[in-house]
């Protein structure tokens, strides 16, 4: 893992020396195709051998009014020759397709960074919509940055003229012109994008040709400007390949990785998958991916609501499939009662929560980690449930498999926490060798039992047997009413409820026996300070700790995957440090759990702006703590 | 299902569990339980391949008393759980036991969707027009003016009509019966024979909180004039054959006509056609009082069931594809990093064929 040290001096368009890493942000109107541009730039960057991380940031509205500040959609990519774990603190390059995009993003740009703006969109109407009183491209207000003001709209129109498109359609190619220029700036291959455009517009070859022409024109513009030395003397930059382990790689988003992990998990368990889902941002992509994978024994069911989504998954688990459901905070809230049913009936179930900003509808497209309490505590009654959190898109694959394993090996619902950032962000992924994953095949009880069948009898792990309806001689009834020990009959007696509550509690706590010890991601297993994180804050925490250690600070990084039950050695480990900081994108939820479980003085570092932590924010907190 | 050994013919007794039945003495649920236990052996059902799924309420305790697989779920959600059960194993016979509050209040949404999707199952809705288990509050089927602990001055909202709700939701089978009726097993048999969602409204007497609310047609002395038992291909006659249901061709509504000397043709009495959806709509809306209560199979016109369509589509989509996890994780645009830091773009030409970024 290496630095994303601020480029000092910041990227100079006239300087062609090699760069260790670069942060580029594409920003435009939500109709400008910025996510697409970013996605394709990501692909070409991955193919060029850079390590990378991305951060798509888009409005909740599908088509927000054109040119408005709230309709701005942005895509940030950090790529380099070193290990990249965050999308980068501040962009080196900002591509602004209109005044609103400039206004909402320019304040993040590094001092001296480069702005590429489409001056063709900086007309009075758009300036007014962005609440600019004067044109920032000409009034000198951008003096602290370098400005490359081009009429991208006109250049695009010129480049696609031969294809006879209408003005509106022709202007839609703007993003490809911009992408062409960006590809040239960083010496990227256009071929994969050309192939992608041809496939995408297979049914409208004239659109494919126009987009390719725009892409080529943007690229050629860079070349020509460099050779002729016109304008700013735009130059190419070289970001060398990252030194990463050899093997086959692909890019993967968290939603893809979770879907693949769930398929792998059910296959390793030897079970068909039943996925009950209801559309919700940012979780829907998992339903979309899985609905195409029928050959892996996957049945997907778009239910009438969140409750039916989980209830159907519980029914499917009862009938012998592995039931899975997925949602985001508000939907998980609706599923709460049914999660309790799965806990009471002790059926396996995987619940994926792609967290977003809350409470209520909150910030559907922004990221937050504020559902930890909901995951660990958020049900009526004493209702223990294992909780796992993924730290990155690639990590989500293994977490999904782990969730399936725990669900079937302990007959319990398991919650997998991810978030909007992980779900949407892409990163390079070393394709795993599936032969290295040990299968965990499920054995159903299928023969009549001597002395009668006890559906709530238990093995050494306190797991009850799983019997599929259809099995002769083992008919039994289950439900949400308290169960008698062993018999599973309705039983309200005080001693029985005490016994069953203890069993449910101990069963889930006992999962810790099957978990690896908590390790230290970076640093030492004792010392002055430890920064403890979970979920998608892994990247910025890791880089901040690395930088602080490079300056000689005694600080370590502990990252927790298993939120409940916690790894058995975690308490002892944490007590080996003098101070503990817990950075979270919430108001201090893991912090509370750690304090409660270990009586340690964990200090919160909180951010709930809908944006991921910056490395510098955590670095500053480390310096503060060590003062 | 997997039992290959020949089995002796089952009896109602074989479908009883060792559990003590916990309904109030005299509750209509006992009669319904008996009718179901009498029906199951007759239709050749097997305990191991039968699943009773219920929600919450007095009726929903039902699965504990039937010797088969049973799942007592949460309030209103039985149709959703049953959908998962049936999709996971379409071979199972799935029965849903629910009540007026469970199916039409808290679970109304799921009831609508299971009927619309036409999942192959039997839905027995015990309608007693009251909340029993929570001690007597009015329910969505309670008549206007019902006095209850939560409506001491009488309810002011108009009741839902279960059979009309079912038909409006797209049900392909709608029937009615009542707890102590000797015809109930026949109605249940017809429901079982129907492939798809079979909706049966069973009027049930809650002797504690809503006693005798259906006595106007269930009591012996009211049976002749109060009950219209429908039979496919037979004229819609009641009142010992002296009355019938005919179409008022001017108003496009149903009307009660007198039948003289058994000549129902002369009185233009309608011959029941279970596949006639328009007449079914009129039958479920028939106001009791000026009309008798329509009972038996009101509508039965099968359509492809949901789980069979899902299975067919899954099979079609999987056809010719071999599951290969290694191939699956390697999909999309990939590249190979050599032993050094050498990078080589591979399969770049397949751009666009993989999952979208």
DSSP string computed for B189-206: HHHHHSSSEEEEEEE---
How many contacts, defined by CB atoms under 8 Å, are there between A and B?
260
What's the burial of A545, exposed, middle or buried (CB within 10 Å: 0-12/13-18/19+)? buried
Q: Alpha-carbon torsion A139, A140, A145, A151, what sign? A: positive
Contact indicator for A40, A101 with CB cutoff of 8 Å: no
Same domain for B160 and B252: no
Nearest-neighbour CA in chain A from B312: distance (Å): 11
Rounded percentage of chain A residues whose pLDDT exceeds 90: 80
Interface of A with B in 384-413 (CB under 8 A): 397
Q: How far apart are CA A135 and CA A147, in angstroms?
A: 13
What's the Cα-to-Cα distance from A451 to each of A322, A475, B78, B144, B277, rounded to whole Å? 29, 14, 32, 54, 53
Same domain for B246 and B192: no
Most A CBs within 10 Å, among B65, B81, B312, to test the A interface: B81
Same domain for B246 and B227: no
Q: How far apart are CA A466 and CA A464, in angstroms?
A: 7
Q: How far apart are CA A132 and CA B161, in angstroms?
A: 60
Asked whether residue B24 is assigned to any structural domain, the reply reads: yes
Asked whether residue B7 is assigned to any structural domain, the reply reads: no
Asked whether residue B221 is assigned to any structural domain, the reply reads: yes
Span A250-436 CATH architecture: 3-Layer(aba) Sandwich (3.40)
Nearest to A175 by CA among A202, A222, A215, A219: A215
- Residues on chain B touching A304 (C-beta within 8 angstroms): 80, 109-110, 112-113
With tokens 């130059």, the residue in question is A235
Same domain for B246 and B134: no
Are B69 and A476 in contact (CB < 8 Å)? yes
Strands (DSSP E) along B263-337, which ranges? Answer: 293-300, 334-337
Q: Alpha-carbon torsion B319, B323, B326, B331, what sign? A: positive
Span A520-626 CATH architecture: 3-Layer(aba) Sandwich (3.40)
A238 touches chain B (CB under 8 A): no
- Residues on chain A touching B16 (C-beta within 8 angstroms): none
Structure token pair of residue A6: 């601020």
A612-625 residue pLDDT tens: 899 999 999 999 99
A244 touches chain B (CB under 8 A): yes
Same domain for B206 and B84: yes
What's the Cα-to-Cα distance from A573 to each of A443, A469, A579, rounded to whole Å? 37, 46, 12
Are A249 and B334 in contact (CB < 8 Å)? yes
Same domain for B119 and B79: yes
Are B343 and A241 in contact (CB < 8 Å)? yes
Most B CBs within 10 Å, among A296, A311, A324, A490, to test the B interface: A311
- Three-class secondary structure of residue B248 per DSSP: strand
Contact indicator for A131, A103 with CB cutoff of 8 Å: yes
ipTM for the complex shown:
0.94
Name the closest residue on chain B to residue A303, using Cα atoms. B80
Most A CBs within 10 Å, among B53, B88, B353, to test the A interface: B88
Q: Report the pLDDT value the prediction gives residue A50, as an integer from 0 to 100.
A: 87
pLDDT along chain B (357 residues), means of 10: 61 95 96 98 97 97 97 98 98 98 98 98 98 96 97 98 98 98 98 98 97 98 98 98 97 97 97 98 97 98 98 97 96 74 36 31
Name the closest residue on chain A to residue B321, using Cα atoms. A295
- Residues on chain A touching B332 (C-beta within 8 angstroms): 250-252
Most A CBs within 10 Å, among B337, B338, B346, B347, to test the A interface: B337
- Three-class secondary structure of residue A441 per DSSP: coil
Q: How far apart are CA B29 and CA B179, in angstroms?
A: 7
Strands (DSSP E) along A338-470, which ranges? Answer: 349-355, 387-389, 413-419, 426-430
Asked whether residue B6 is assigned to any structural domain, the reply reads: no
- Three-class secondary structure of residue B161 per DSSP: coil
- Confidence class of residue A229 from pLDDT cuts 50, 70 and 90? low
A234-285 residue pLDDT tens: 678 888 888 888 899 998 999 999 999 999 999 999 999 999 999 998 899 9
Q: How far apart are CA B194 and CA B72, in angstroms?
A: 24
Are A274 and B91 in contact (CB < 8 Å)? no
CATH tag for A21-224 (out of 3.40.920.10, 3.30.565.10, 3.40.1190.20, 1.20.120.80): 3.40.920.10
Q: How far apart are CA A11 and CA A17, in angstroms?
A: 10
Supply the range of the domain harboring residue B286: 12-234+272-306
A515-540 residue pLDDT tens: 999 999 999 999 999 999 999 999 99
**What total of structural domains would you count in chain B?**
3
Query: Hey, do A250-436 and A520-626 end up sharing a CATH topology, with the first three levels equal?
Result: yes
Q: How far apart are CA A281 and CA A366, in angstroms?
A: 10
With tokens 């999904």, the residue in question is A400
A536 touches chain B (CB under 8 A): no
Q: Report the pLDDT value the prediction gives residue A227, as an integer from 0 to 100.
A: 62
Asked whether residue B318 is assigned to any structural domain, the reply reads: no
Bridge partners, A114 (sequence order): A93, A146
Same domain for B181 and B165: yes
Are A315 and B113 in contact (CB < 8 Å)? no
Asked whether residue B98 is assigned to any structural domain, the reply reads: yes
Contact indicator for A529, A625 with CB cutoff of 8 Å: yes
- Residues on chain B touching A245 (C-beta within 8 angstroms): 337
What's the burial of A54, exposed, middle or buried (CB within 10 Å: 0-12/13-18/19+)? buried
Same domain for B170 and B115: yes
How far the first Cα of chain A sits from its last, in Å, is 26
Task: Please state the domain extents for chain A.
Answer: 21-224, 250-436, 520-626
Bridge partners, A327 (sequence order): A353
CA-based R_g, chain B, Å = 26
Helices and strands: H and E segment counts in chain B: 11, 13
- Residues on chain A touching B313 (C-beta within 8 angstroms): 294
Q: How far apart are CA B331 and CA B326, in angstroms?
A: 9
Please report which helix (H) or strand (E) contains residue A156, including its range. helix A152-160
Compute CA B98 distance to the chain's CA centroid, rounded to the nearest angstrom. Answer: 8
Of A49, A309, A480, the CB nearest to B72: A480
In this structure, how many other beta carbons lie within 10 angstroms of the beta carbon of residue B45?
Answer: 18
Are A43 and B351 in contact (CB < 8 Å)? yes
Bridge partners, A93 (sequence order): A24, A114
Most B CBs within 10 Å, among A477, A483, A487, A488, to test the B interface: A477
Q: How far apart are CA A387 and CA A561, in angstroms?
A: 9
Same domain for B280 and B154: yes
A445 touches chain B (CB under 8 A): no
Nearest-neighbour CA in chain A from B11: distance (Å): 17
Same domain for B261 and B335: no
| A49: CB partners within 8 A, 6+ apart | A241, A242, B335, B337, B341, B343
Same domain for B141 and B47: yes
Nearest-neighbour CA in chain A from B239: distance (Å): 44
- Residues on chain A touching B1 (C-beta within 8 angstroms): 470, 472
Same domain for B343 and B247: no
Q: Report the pLDDT value the prediction gives residue A228, as an integer from 0 to 100.
A: 60
A82-140 residue pLDDT tens: 888 888 889 999 999 999 999 999 999 999 999 999 999 999 999 999 999 999 999 99
With tokens 């929560």, the residue in question is A353
Structure token pair of residue A244: 């990463």
């Amino acid at each position: 893992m290496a630095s994303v040290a601020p480029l000092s001096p910041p990227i100079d368009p006239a300087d062609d020396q090699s760069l260790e890493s670069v942060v580029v942000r594409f920003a435009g109107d939500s109709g400008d195709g910025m996510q697409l541009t970013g996605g394709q730039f990501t692909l070409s960057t991955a193919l060029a051998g850079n390590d990378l991380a991305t951060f798509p940031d888009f409005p909740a509205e599908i088509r927000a009014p054109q040119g408005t500040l709230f309709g701005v959609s942005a895509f940030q990519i950090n790529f380099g020759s070193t290990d990249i774990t965050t999308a980068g603190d501040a962009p080196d390059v900002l591509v602004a397709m209109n005044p609103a995009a400039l206004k909402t993003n320019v304040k993040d740009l590094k001092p001296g960074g480069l702005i590429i703006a489409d001056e063709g969109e900086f007309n009075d109407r758009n300036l007014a919509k962005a609440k600019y009183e004067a044109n920032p491209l000409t009034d000198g207000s951008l003096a602290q940055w370098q400005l490359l003001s081009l009429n991208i709209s006109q250049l695009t129109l010129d480049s696609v003229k031969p294809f006879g498109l209408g003005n509106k359609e022709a202007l839609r190619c703007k993003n490809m012109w911009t992408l062409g220029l960006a590809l040239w700036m960083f010496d990227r291959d256009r071929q994969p994008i050309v192939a992608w455009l041809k496939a995408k517009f297979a049914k409208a070859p004239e659109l494919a040709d126009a987009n390719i022409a725009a892409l080529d024109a943007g690229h050629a513009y860079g070349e020509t400007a460099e050779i002729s030395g016109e304008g700013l003397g735009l130059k190419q930059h070289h970001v060398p390949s990252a030194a990463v382990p050899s093997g086959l790689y692909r890019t993967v988003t968290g939603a893809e990785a979770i879907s693949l992990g769930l398929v792998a998990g059910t296959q390793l368990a030897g079970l068909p998958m039943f996925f009950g889902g209801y559309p919700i941002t940012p979780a829907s992509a998992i339903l979309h991916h899985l609905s195409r994978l029928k050959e892996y024994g996957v049945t997907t069911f778009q239910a009438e609501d969140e409750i039916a989504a989980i209830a159907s998954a519980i029914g499917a688990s009862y009938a012998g499939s592995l039931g899975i459901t997925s949602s985001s905070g508000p939907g998980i809230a609706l599923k709460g009662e049914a999660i309790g049913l799965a806990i009471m009936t002790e059926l396996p179930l995987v619940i994926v929560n792609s967290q977003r900003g809350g409470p209520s509808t909150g910030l559907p497209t922004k990221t937050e980690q504020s559902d930890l309490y909901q995951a660990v505590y958020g049900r009526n009654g004493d209702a223990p449930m294992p909780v796992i959190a993924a730290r990155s898109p690639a990590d989500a694959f293994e977490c999904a498999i782990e969730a399936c394993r725990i669900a079937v090996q302990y007959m319990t619902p398991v919650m997998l926490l991810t978030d909007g950032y992980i779900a949407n962000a892409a990163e390079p992924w070393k394709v795993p060798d599936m032969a290295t994953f040990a299968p965990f095949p499920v054995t159903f009880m299928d023969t009549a039992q001597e002395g009668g069948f006890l559906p709530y009898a238990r093995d050494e792990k306190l797991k009850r047997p799983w019997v599929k309806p259809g099995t002769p001689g083992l008919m039994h009834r289950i439900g949400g009413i308290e169960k008698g020990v062993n018999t599973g009959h309705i039983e309200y007696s005080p001693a029985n409820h005490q016994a069953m509550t203890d069993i449910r509690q101990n069963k889930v706590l006992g999962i810790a026996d099957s978990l690896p010890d908590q390790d230290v991601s970076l640093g030492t297993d004792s010392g002055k300070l430890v920064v403890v994180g979970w979920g998608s804050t892994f990247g910025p925490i890791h880089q901040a700790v690395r930088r602080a250690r490079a300056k000689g600070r005694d600080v370590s990084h502990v990252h927790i995957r298993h939120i409940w039950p916690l790894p058995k050695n975690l308490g002892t480990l944490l007590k080996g440090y003098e101070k503990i900081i817990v950075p979270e994108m919430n108001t201090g939820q893991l912090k509370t759990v750690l304090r409660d479980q270990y009586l340690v003085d964990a200090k919160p570092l909180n951010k709930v702006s809908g944006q991921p932590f910056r490395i510098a924010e955590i670095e500053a907190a480390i310096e503060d703590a060590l003062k | 299902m997997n039992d290959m050994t020949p089995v002796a013919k089952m009896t109602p007794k074989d479908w009883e569990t060792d559990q003590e039945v916990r309904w109030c003495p005299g509750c209509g649920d006992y009669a319904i339980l008996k009718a179901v236990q009498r029906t199951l052996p007759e239709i050749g059902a097997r305990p191991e391949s039968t699943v009773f799924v219920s929600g919450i309420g007095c009726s929903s305790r039902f699965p504990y008393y039937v010797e088969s697989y049973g799942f007592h779920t949460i309030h209103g959600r039985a149709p959703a759980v049953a959908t998962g059960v049936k999709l996971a194993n379409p071979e199972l016979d799935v029965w849903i036991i629910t009540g007026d509050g469970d199916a039409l209040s808290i679970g109304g949404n799921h009831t609508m969707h299971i009927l619309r999707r036409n999942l192959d199952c039997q839905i027995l809705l015990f309608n007693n027009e009251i909340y029993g288990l929570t001690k007597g509050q009015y329910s969505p089927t309670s008549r206007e003016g019902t006095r209850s602990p939560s409506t001491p001055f009488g309810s002011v909202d108009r009741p839902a009509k279960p059979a009309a709700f079912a038909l409006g939701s797209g049900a392909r089978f709608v029937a009615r019966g009542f707890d102590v009726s000797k015809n109930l097993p026949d109605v249940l048999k017809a429901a079982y024979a129907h492939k798809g969602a079979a909706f049966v409204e069973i009027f049930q007497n809650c002797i504690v909180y809503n006693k005798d609310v259906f006595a106007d047609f269930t009591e012996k002395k009211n049976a002749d004039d109060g009950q219209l038992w429908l039979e496919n291909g037979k004229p819609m006659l009641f009142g010992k054959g002296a009355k019938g249901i005919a179409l008022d061709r001017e108003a496009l509504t149903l009307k009660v006509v007198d039948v003289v000397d058994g000549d129902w043709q002369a009185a233009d009495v309608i011959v029941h056609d279970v596949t006639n959806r328009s007449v079914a709509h009129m039958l479920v809306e028939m106001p009791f009082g000026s009309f008798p209560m329509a009972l038996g199979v009101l509508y039965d016109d099968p359509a492809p069931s949901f789980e069979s369509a899902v299975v067919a589509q899954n099979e079609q989509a999987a056809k010719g594809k071999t599951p290969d996890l290694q191939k699956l994780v390697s999909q999309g645009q990939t590249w190979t990093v050599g032993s050094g830091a050498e990078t080589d773009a591979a399969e770049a030409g397949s751009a666009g064929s993989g999952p979208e970024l």
